[in-house]
Amino acid sequence: MKENPGHNGYSCANINHFSDYDIYLFKNGSHYRLYEKLGAHIYDTVDSTGMIIKGVHFSVWAPNAQSVSVAGDFNGWNIDANPMGPRWDESGIWEAFVPGLSKGCTYKFHIKSKISQQQTYRADPFAFFCETPPKTASIIWDTEYNWTDLPWMEKRHLRNRLDCPFSIYEFHAASWKRVADDFNRSLSYRELAQQLTAYIKDTGFTHVELMPVMEHPFYGSWGYQTTGYFAPTSRLGAPQDFMYLIDCLHNNDIGVILDWVPSHFPNDMHALAMFDGTELYEHKDPKKGFHPDWKSLIFNYGRREVRQFLISSALFWLDKYHADGLRIDAVASMLYLDYSRKEGQWIPNKFGGRENLEAIEFLKELNTAVYKNYGDVQTFAEESTAWPAVTKPVYAGGLGFGIKWNMGWMHDSLQYFQKDPVYRKFHHNELTFTFWYAFFENFILPLSHDEVVYGKKSLLEKMPGDNWQKFANLRLLLAYMYGFPGKKLLFMGNEIGQHEEWHHEASIDWGLLENSENAGVKKLVSDLNIIYRTEKALHANDFMPESFEWLDFGDSSQSTLFFSRRHEKTTGEEKYKSTIVVACNFTPSPRYKYRIGVPEPGVWKEILNSDAEIYGGSGHGNFGKVKAAKVPSHSKPYSISITLPPLAVIYLKKQTRI
């Protein structure tokens, strides 16, 4: 090996950090754990006298650099003290070993471009820890942690399958709860571990989804302008503190999904942009490499080193942080070359189309790698168009995601609910249309952060009517969502009926829980989570059309909907079929003696009523049960006569042995 001179004469010759196989994989675009090689790694090596030398091996991919050095607090940020040398194998990787360094030292790479002669200090793209913004240096760190979540990890395949309940609480870690008497600071990862875990247990969600925790310089981006693809933000603590948070959640049987952003990155000059004086990570042509909406840069998915960088990042969070899933942000912006561009502002693909063929292949490669390594996790696509086969396996021609956000359901449902009930009968199709494509993909129903910001109002304040009707409509929406086919996602604050929009500088208004109406919404969500998790009819066959049946979708004049969710257990000693009728009244007028056809005789138990007094409702209902009569209705041999409460949903359950 050609020696690369290091600090005080030490070189990389005694360190076999990169094997020939590593370089082979890297050059062929199939090294999916580059974080184990590139970046800063604490090492022990032996000098020519046999003496053990402790230090750090640095390496960085910068193929168009004329010179690279590592500068930091350990050498007074002297760019001449620790030069790095290029590897002999034309990989474009520069490396050096610096003895005497240890965990906690700050550093950057100083890169001089041989193309532009530009000289810049760069944060390490593979850093495990970063200085707290606005500082931008990388920190030498490790990923060692004594995990205690083995019981969760061993049983994850039983809790994270597509036939399992997914009731996801989406939250922003830095604003979920603030400490008002301590300068309104955020909770640390370790404080969140105690307080968030207790809250999720109390409310009954199965998973949490963190908005991006990867390091980002602009706090107001909410994490969606990532610069540290291998580092949790240091605003809330060290990497091991974040591991502790996930460990605590797992030890309380709560899954963890991380929001992850491979769709674009910011143009901050300390990070990936023009990294070695050239467009290394982004496309050179702004028609492909610049995002007009977000003023950010778009990854060059056709470059194998870029694909490896991103897939290594995805696997890193699964490997080192035990994440149970990844939510892939802004997939639609990746799939279309003309996304948010006018005519003449985009470049067609080689077939003349608008599909981004390189991004499509990247997403397939990403999902293949994730599921090959972790068959017990899920990937979630935030994809806002009707792109086909998003959740079909790659071998079947799909993109290979596990679950897709149902943006159509969200849009149509919120559009409907914002209308005065007097006019809802003219918009009945906004509810019923979504059922016709409910099984085209493996859908999750998202009431996410995007719907409660930028003047859109909170969920509660979207609702029409006086204060009572607003809360009734919110309870109606939540109960309707939990009855509708698909997994569930609810953004923080929605579960307590917060009045104000979410703002990243403000905590959820926890004081609202002193009000009976807000406490009632929280109680409803908790009970919905219990029912959803317990009743397999509501989750086990979410993606199968046979789990759903219309009972009546045509009564637009009274703005009512009736459908059933079904599950059959045909194995084991106890065989049964379970049916839950979901009855919805989208007006403030109670419906008495309303007859609806049901498939079976006997007693139907009212297991949920969103108008119950305990939730802040008026208390209309069916005294806990109704009995089916042999009176045909809605093409069924039996029917029930029920009271439909105002602006409410009721669930009626019948379970029989088979």
382 annotated active-site: yes
Q: Are residues 369 and 267 in the same domain?
A: yes
Handedness of CA 213, 219, 223, 227 (dihedral sign): negative
Tokens representing 122? 């760069």
Q: Are residues 176 and 108 in the same domain?
A: no
For residue range 182-195, list pLDDT tens digits in order.
Answer: 999 999 999 999 99
Per-residue pLDDT at 5: 40
Q: Are residues 95 and 176 in the same domain?
A: no
The CATH number linked to 243 is 3.20.20.80
210 occurs within a structural domain: yes
Handedness of CA 48, 49, 54, 55 (dihedral sign): negative
For residue range 105-135, list pLDDT tens digits in order.
Answer: 999 999 999 999 999 999 999 999 999 999 9
Per-residue pLDDT at 3: 38
240 occurs within a structural domain: yes
User: β-pairing, 83-86 with 65-72?
Assistant: antiparallel
Per-residue pLDDT at 572: 75
423 occurs within a structural domain: no
Given a contact cutoff of 8 angstroms between Cβ atoms, the answer to whether 44 and 120 are in contact is no
Q: Are residues 85 and 180 in the same domain?
A: no
281: left (phi over 0), alpha (psi -120 to 50) or beta: alpha
160, pLDDT greater than 70: yes
371, pLDDT greater than 80: yes
62, pLDDT greater than 90: yes
Given a contact cutoff of 8 angstroms between Cβ atoms, the answer to whether 136 and 88 are in contact is no
Given a contact cutoff of 8 angstroms between Cβ atoms, the answer to whether 19 and 87 are in contact is no
Helix (H, G, I), strand (E, B), or coil: what is residue 93?
strand
The predicted model scores a pTM of: 0.95
Tokens representing 68? 């690279």
Domain boundary among 89, 122, 155: 122
447 occurs within a structural domain: no
Q: Are residues 170 and 268 in the same domain?
A: yes
Domain boundary among 97, 122, 147: 122
Q: What is the Cα–Cα distance from 312 to 657, expressed in whole angstroms?
A: 49
Q: Are residues 113 and 180 in the same domain?
A: no
Per-residue pLDDT at 52: 87
The CATH number linked to 39 is 2.60.40.10
Q: Are residues 391 and 262 in the same domain?
A: yes
Domain boundary among 86, 104, 122: 122
242, pLDDT greater than 50: yes
Q: What is the Cα–Cα distance from 230 to 227, expressed in whole angstroms?
A: 9
Four-point Cα dihedral 406, 410, 416, 419, nearest 10 = -170
| Contacts of 395 by beta carbon, 8 Å cutoff, 6+ apart | none
For residue range 274-288, list pLDDT tens digits in order.
Answer: 999 999 999 999 999
Per-residue pLDDT at 574: 76
Q: Of the listed 215, 329, 365, 611, which one is catalytic?
A: 329
Per-residue pLDDT at 423: 97
Per-residue pLDDT at 124: 99
How many residues belong to the chain?
658
Q: H-helix or E-strand containing 245? A: helix 239-251
Alpha helices in 438-540 (DSSP H): 459-462, 467-483, 516-534
For residue range 533-589, list pLDDT tens digits in order.
Answer: 999 999 999 999 999 999 999 999 999 999 999 999 777 777 788 999 999 999 999
559 occurs within a structural domain: yes
Tokens representing 124? 């390490």
Instruction: Work out the pLDDT band at 320, boundaries 50, 70, 90.
Output: very high
For residue range 482-530, list pLDDT tens digits in order.
Answer: 999 999 999 999 999 999 999 999 999 999 999 999 999 999 999 999 9
Domain with 85 in it: 7-122
Q: Are residues 264 and 349 in the same domain?
A: yes
Q: Are residues 89 and 20 in the same domain?
A: yes
373 occurs within a structural domain: yes
Q: What is the Cα–Cα distance from 139 to 130, expressed in whole angstroms?
A: 5
> From the CA atom positions of the chain, what is the Rg in Å?
28
Q: Are residues 309 and 379 in the same domain?
A: yes
Q: Of the listed 358, 382, 441, 542, which one is catalytic?
A: 382
507 occurs within a structural domain: no
User: Average pLDDT for residues 165-176, to the nearest whole number?
Assistant: 98
For residue range 545-556, list pLDDT tens digits in order.
Answer: 999 999 999 999
Per-residue pLDDT at 2: 37
467 occurs within a structural domain: no
Q: H-helix or E-strand containing 107? A: strand 106-113
Instruction: Work out the pLDDT band at 14, boundaries 50, 70, 90.
Output: low
Q: Are residues 46 and 184 in the same domain?
A: no
329 annotated active-site: yes
Q: Number of folded domains in the chain?
A: 3
Q: Are residues 176 and 117 in the same domain?
A: no
Phi, psi of 455 (to 5 degrees): 85, 5
- Closest Cα partner for 318 from 230, 406, 383, 430? 230
For residue range 401-417, list pLDDT tens digits in order.
Answer: 999 999 999 999 999 99
The CATH number linked to 578 is 2.60.40.1180
